[in-house]
């Protein structure tokens, strides 16, 4: 028995579907000494798998054996209108409905409780595998998962409220399914071995499309297009109601890749197809959220979130106020990503951030700074403005939204000081005017990648780099030095169709040819170019280990506070680890290094570069640099942003 089990001699209504679970629930109510009254709801008609007239007859026979009064209530018209037609409308809108949730709330509990009141019954008994207990602090009812998770049904009960939970009893919450059948057999109940219904009651054969078209005849129209994630047509389909996100079978599309439905744009009649990786998301917007045990928390809470009944759940933060649910964040089209980027993340709402005292932002900073000496803020321009993209639209349809930059920057400086954590703002891409200067005034390091550090038609001289910054040759989102030199990223973008036009591709190819020559000229001007390399003939030059070392020696001469060297460049890797704007088109974040981590220290070229950098930057800045930050400036940086070296 659960802690919420009723006392003796009560009168209760038992929801009887004609299956074994509800039959045993009725038997347990009688066993408790209840005056139990059985009610079967006739809802989906005779084609139903759980509430047909045949099911009602099974329920009646169980009630007779248990000595119970028994009634059948016909609500088929209301059920068709409120549940079945809503089911069809959801599919036509590109959503996958959960009709059992609405049925439980509106019919199995709302209507049964109305009937219970008419019959003078205090309680309602159901055969759901769930439990109810009380919070010892608040005294409120809590909905708890079944003791044995293989049959837990709380996923379908989240709409229940306190008034309903007060009157409900779930006697099967402590039992295994096998125990339910065994006890039903011992009591001689005719439903003991009745097969279990797995499908939606009004879709007994699993053909959702047929049901949608019978409820909404207009659904069987001209259909629409299959498209890939870049919007290119892959084929035609017979209607968006035939598909659900995550579906793989029944697409009718020939492809060398295993394709899944990754999105549905019902207003355009488009079904988006992609690979399995595109189904992984970092955030999701919730609707019809209900905090069963009282009002929701003010701050974000850790939760185990399930997206379907048999999903084991995923760890998540649930934040009910500070996110904008109808948008995602990303970046507009630019020379780096001509089609723009959509990152699949919900934006924080600037007004709600301020209203909640920036609690979410502060908690995120503290969680990341607590055990770190330095924190790199990806897309640091988001402190001033963020690019919002409406859900279902492409990046070109997005717009910038302003954020309370001074408030966020002040909080960032305060938490940096409290945690003694250096702050590096990744300020690449479309940078607002004055942003870098304001970040520098606050003591945050800028992020300087050699590919982008140019002045006119030449690469910036080492002495011209800002002292309050981090210098590097490349990043995880950019081609390695070898890949840059060989144009591998350009070839990959062409292969994946990431250019908006052929002219855009040719222009980037011409720019890369110029950049190779300019880089060699910059190295030659610093007397770092290997003797065997002719700066006027870059097409005859390979990005050798010697040339990679020369690029890093060039960066080591900058007055920047930090110099970062990637293992990928140390080892001469050709393929970049991640290509922004792609998810499943290529194996991002999976490529391994060509050298075991334990072997890096013994690699002769790695050791040679490490020794060269140590000579050039004995205290973190280039030897003899006249432009490095003065001691006073370095101390101020330490006070504002934590330690001055990683």
In the block, tokens 């009602």 appear at: 56
CA-CA distance, 262 to 278, in Å (whole number)? Answer: 6
Any residues with CB less than 8 A from the CB of 441 and at least 6 apart, and which? none
Our answer to whether residue 421 is catalytic in this structure is no
Which residue from 482, 507, 481, 485 is spatially nearest to 494, judged by alpha carbons?
507
CA-CA distance, 162 to 165, in Å (whole number)? Answer: 5
Torsion from C-alpha of 481, 483, 489, 494, nearest 10 degrees: 150
Which residue from 440, 443, 460, 463 is spatially nearest to 452, judged by alpha carbons?
460
In degrees, rounded to 5, the angle at the alpha carbon of residue 28 between the alpha carbons of residues 27 and 32 is 120
Concatenate the DSSP letters of all residues of 569-611 into one string: HHTT--S-S--TT-SSSS-TTTPPPSS-GGGGGG-HHHHHHHH
Q: Which residue among the candidates 50, 103, 141, 621 is catalytic per the annotation? A: 103
In the block, tokens 């062409």 appear at: 494
CA-CA distance, 361 to 367, in Å (whole number)? Answer: 10
Give the tokens for residue 143: 């909905």
CA-CA distance, 189 to 127, in Å (whole number)? Answer: 15
Q: Cα 536 vs. chain centroid, distance in angstroms?
A: 48
Our answer to whether residue 50 is catalytic in this structure is no
In the block, tokens 């009646």 appear at: 60
Edge to edge, the sheet with strand 469-472 lists 446-449, 469-472, 562-564
User: How many CB atoms within 10 Å of residue 511?
Assistant: 11
Give 17: exposed, middle or buried? Use CB within 10 Å, 0-12, 13-18, 19+.
Answer: buried
In DSSP terms, 445 is beta-bridged to 424
CA-CA distance, 543 to 529, in Å (whole number)? Answer: 12
CA-CA distance, 466 to 462, in Å (whole number)? Answer: 9
CA-CA distance, 94 to 97, in Å (whole number)? Answer: 9
CA-CA distance, 362 to 415, in Å (whole number)? Answer: 8
Q: Which residue among the candidates 50, 141, 201, 561 is catalytic per the annotation? A: 201
In degrees, rounded to 5, the angle at the alpha carbon of residue 629 between the alpha carbons of residues 623 and 634 is 115
Long-range contacts of 345-351 (CB under 8 A, 24+ apart): 345/282, 345/283, 346/283, 346/285, 347/323, 347/386, 347/388, 347/401, 348/322, 348/323, 348/324, 348/386, 349/321, 349/322, 349/323, 349/324, 350/401, 350/402, 350/403, 350/404
Task: Please report how the helices 359-369 and 405-419 are oriented relative to each other, as an axis angle in degrees rounded to 10.
Answer: 30
CA-CA distance, 344 to 324, in Å (whole number)? Answer: 13
CB 452 within 8 A of CB 461: no
What residues are annotated to the active site?
103, 201
């Amino acid at each position: 028995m659960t802690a919420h089990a009723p006392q003796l001699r009560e009168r209760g209504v038992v929801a009887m579907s004609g299956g074994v679970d509800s039959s045993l629930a009725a038997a347990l109510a009688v066993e408790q000494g209840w005056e139990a009254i059985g009610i079967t709801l006739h809802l989906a008609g005779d084609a139903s798998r759980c509430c047909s007239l045949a099911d009602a007859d099974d329920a009646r026979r169980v009630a007779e054996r248990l000595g119970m009064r028994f009634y059948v209530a016909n609500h088929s018209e209301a059920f068709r209108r409120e549940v079945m037609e809503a089911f069809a409308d959801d599919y036509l809108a590109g959503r996958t409905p959960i009709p059992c949730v609405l049925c439980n709330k509106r019919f199995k509990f709302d209507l049964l409780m109305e009937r219970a009141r008419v019959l003078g019954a205090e309680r309602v008994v159901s055969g759901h595998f769930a439990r109810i207990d009380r919070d010892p602090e608040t005294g409120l009812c809590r909905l708890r998962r079944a003791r044995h998770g293989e049959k837990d049904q709380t996923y379908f009960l989240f709409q229940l409220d306190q008034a309903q939970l007060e009157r409900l009893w779930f006697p099967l919450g402590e039992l295994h399914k096998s125990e339910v059948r065994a006890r039903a057999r011992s009591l001689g109940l005719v439903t003991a071995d009745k097969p279990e219904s797995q499908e939606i009651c009004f879709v007994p054969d699993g053909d959702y499309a047929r049901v949608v078209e019978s409820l909404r005849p207009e659904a069987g129209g001209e259909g629409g297009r299959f498209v890939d994630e870049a919007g290119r047509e892959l084929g035609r389909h017979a209607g968006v109601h035939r598909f659900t996100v995550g579906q793989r079978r029944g697409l009718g599309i020939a492809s060398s890749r295993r394709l899944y439905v990754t999105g549905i744009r019902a207003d355009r009649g488009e079904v988006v197809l992609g690979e399995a990786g595109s189904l992984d998301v970092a955030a999701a917007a919730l609707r019809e959220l209900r905090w069963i045990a009282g009002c929701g928390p003010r701050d974000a809470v850790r939760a185990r979130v399930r997206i379907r009944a048999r999903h084991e759940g995923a760890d998540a933060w649930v934040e009910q106020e500070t996110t904008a649910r109808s948008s995602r964040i990303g970046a507009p089209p630019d020379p780096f990503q001509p089609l723009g980027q959509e990152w699949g993340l919900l934006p924080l709402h600037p007004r709600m951030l301020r209203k909640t005292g920036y609690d979410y932002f502060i908690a995120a900073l503290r969680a990341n700074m607590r055990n770190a000496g330095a924190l790199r803020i990806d897309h640091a321009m988001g402190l001033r403005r963020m690019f919002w993209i409406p859900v279902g639209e492409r990046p070109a349809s997005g717009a910038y939204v302003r954020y309370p930059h001074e408030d966020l920057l002040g909080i960032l400086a305060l938490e940096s000081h409290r945690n003694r954590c250096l702050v590096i703002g990744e300020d690449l891409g479309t940078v607002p005017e004055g942003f870098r200067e304001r970040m520098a005034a606050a003591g945050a390091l800028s992020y300087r990648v050699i590919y982008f550090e140019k002045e006119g038609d030449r690469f910036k001289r080492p002495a011209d780099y800002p002292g309050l910054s981090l210098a590097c040759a490349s990043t995880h989102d950019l081609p390695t030095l070898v890949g840059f030199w060989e144009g591998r990223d350009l070839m990959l973008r062409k292969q994946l169709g990431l250019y908006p036009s052929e002219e855009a591709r040719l222009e980037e190819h011409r720019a890369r040819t110029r950049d190779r020559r300019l880089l060699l000229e910059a190295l030659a001007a610093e007397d770092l170019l290997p003797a065997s390399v002719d700066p006027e003939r870059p097409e005859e030059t390979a990005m050798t280990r010697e040339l990679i070392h020369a690029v890093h020696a060039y960066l080591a001469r900058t007055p920047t506070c930090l110099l970062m060297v990637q293992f990928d460049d140390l080892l001469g890797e050709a393929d970049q680890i991640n290509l922004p704007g792609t998810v499943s088109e290529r194996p991002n974040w999976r490529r391994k290094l060509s050298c075991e981590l334990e072997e890096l220290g013994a690699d002769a070229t790695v050791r040679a570069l490490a020794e060269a950098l140590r000579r050039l930057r004995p205290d973190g800045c280039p030897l003899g640099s006249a432009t490095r930050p003065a001691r006073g400036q370095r101390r101020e940086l330490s006070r504002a942003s934590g330690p001055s070296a990683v």
